[in-house]
C-alpha cells in the first residue's frame, strides 16, 4: 500500500506548463530520489505536493486522502514535511525556536525537541544561537529537524546537499536511515546522480517536466541514468 500517490500531475505557472503527466508512488519508510537537470521541474514537483503551486491538474493523495487544492499548512497537518531549497530558516528566530515552529501543526509522533536533539546533538548545544550564525551544514540540520518536528509521514527534501562540503553531505545522508526507520518516507531531490542511486530505493528522472525514467534505484546503472539525464534519444 503506497503512502503517497501522484497521478498524471500537470502543473502550471500562468500559461507556462512546468510538469506534464508526472506520476509517482512512494511507499512508507522508503527513500525516493528525484533527479534531473536544472529546470526539469523537480522543485515544482515538490512544491506541488506541498501545496505551493496554485494551478494543478491531476491527483495527489496521501494515504488515499486527496491533497490537491489544500493550503500548504493543511497539507503539513496531513503529514507532509518540507525541507525547502536553500533551507529558508527563519532569520529572526533562534535555532531552538526554528525547531519549535515545526511543532505548530501539533501532530503526534516520535519527533519532539529531544528526539531531534538526539539526532543532531549540535543543535541542542547551539539552541540559543540565531539560525544565521550557524554553518551551512548545521543550518541544513535545523531545516531537517524543523521538518521532523511536524511529525510527518513523508518529508520532501529539496537539494539538501546544495552548497555543502562533501563530508558534511555524507554525514547528513548517513543519518537518513534513522528517519526512515520510523516509517517516515523521504523524497529527495538530488543533483548528484551517484549519490541518489546509492541512497534511494526508487528513482525518478525528470526532463523538461516529464518523467523519462522511473523505477527501483538498483535496476539502473549510473550510465543508464546519465543517458536519460543528458537527453538520450527519446526512442
Q: Which residues bind other proteins (CB under 8 A)?
A: 15-16, 50-52, 71-73, 76-77, 82, 84, 88, 90-93, 97-98, 100-102, 104-105, 146-147, 150
Helical (H) or strand (E) element with 202: strand 202-207
d(CA 138, CA 158): 16
Query: Nearest-CA neighbor of 190 among 204, 208, 174?
Result: 204
The smaller minimum CB distance to other proteins, of residues 192 and 208, is found at: 208
* CB-side neighbour CA atoms (13 Å) of 84: 12
Smallest distance, other proteins to C-beta of residue 172, A: 20
Smallest distance, other proteins to C-beta of residue 13, A: 9
With H, G, I as helix, E, B as strand and everything else as coil, classify residue 222: helix
The smaller minimum CB distance to other proteins, of residues 152 and 193, is found at: 152
The smaller minimum CB distance to other proteins, of residues 15 and 223, is found at: 15
Smallest distance, other proteins to C-beta of residue 7, A: 22
The smaller minimum CB distance to other proteins, of residues 78 and 202, is found at: 78
d(CA 155, CA 80): 6
Contact present, 179 and 116 (Cβ < 8 Å): no
Smallest distance, other proteins to C-beta of residue 58, A: 21
What pairing do the DSSP bridges indicate for beta strands 16-26 and 4-13?
Answer: antiparallel
Smallest distance, other proteins to C-beta of residue 221, A: 35
State the alpha helices, DSSP H only, in the chain. Answer: 42-50, 72-78, 95-101, 113-119, 121-125, 136-148, 166-180, 193-199, 222-229
The smaller minimum CB distance to other proteins, of residues 39 and 72, is found at: 72
The smaller minimum CB distance to other proteins, of residues 86 and 194, is found at: 86
Residue with cell string 548545521: 138
Smallest distance, other proteins to C-beta of residue 90, A: 4
Amino acid at each position: 500500500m503506497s503512502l503517497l500517490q501522484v497521478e498524471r500531475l500537470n502543473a502550471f505557472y500562468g500559461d507556462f506548463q512546468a510538469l506534464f503527466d508526472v506520476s509517482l508512488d512512494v511507499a512508507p519508510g522508503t527513500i525516493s530520489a528525484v533527479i534531473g537537470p536544472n529546470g526539469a521541474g523537480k522543485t515544482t514537483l515538490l512544491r506541488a505536493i506541498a501545496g505551493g503551486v496554485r494551478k494543478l491538474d491531476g491527483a495527489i493523495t496521501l494515504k488515499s486522502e486527496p491533497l490537491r487544492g489544500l493550503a500548504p499548512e493543511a497539507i503539513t497537518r496531513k503529514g507532509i514535511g518540507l525541507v525547502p531549497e536553500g533551507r529558508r530558516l527563519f532569520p529572526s528566530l533562534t535555532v531552538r525556536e526554528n525547531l519549535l515552529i515545526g511543532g505548530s501543526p501539533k501532530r503526534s509522533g516520535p519527533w519532539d525537541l529531544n528526539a531531534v536533539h538526539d539526532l543532531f546533538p549540535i543543535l541542542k548545544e547551539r539552541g540559543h544561537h540565531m539560525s544565521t550564525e550557524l554553518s551551512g551544514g548545521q543550518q541544513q540540520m535545523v531545516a531537517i529537524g524543523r521538518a521532523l518536528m511536524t511529525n510527518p509521514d513523508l518529508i520532501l527534501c529539496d537539494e539538501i546537499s546544495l552548497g555543502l562540503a562533501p563530508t558534511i553531505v555524507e554525514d547528513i545522508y548517513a543519518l537518513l536511515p534513522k528517519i526512515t526507520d520510523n516509517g517516515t518516507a523521504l523524497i529527495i531531490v538530488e543533483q548528484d546522480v551517484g549519490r541518489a542511486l546509492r541512497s534511494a530505493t526508487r528513482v525518478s528522472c525528470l526532463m523538461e517536466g516529464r518523467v523519462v525514467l522511473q523505477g527501483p534505484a538498483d535496476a539502473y546503472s549510473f550510465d543508464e541514468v546519465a543517458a536519460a539525464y543528458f537527453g538520450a534519444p527519446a526512442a
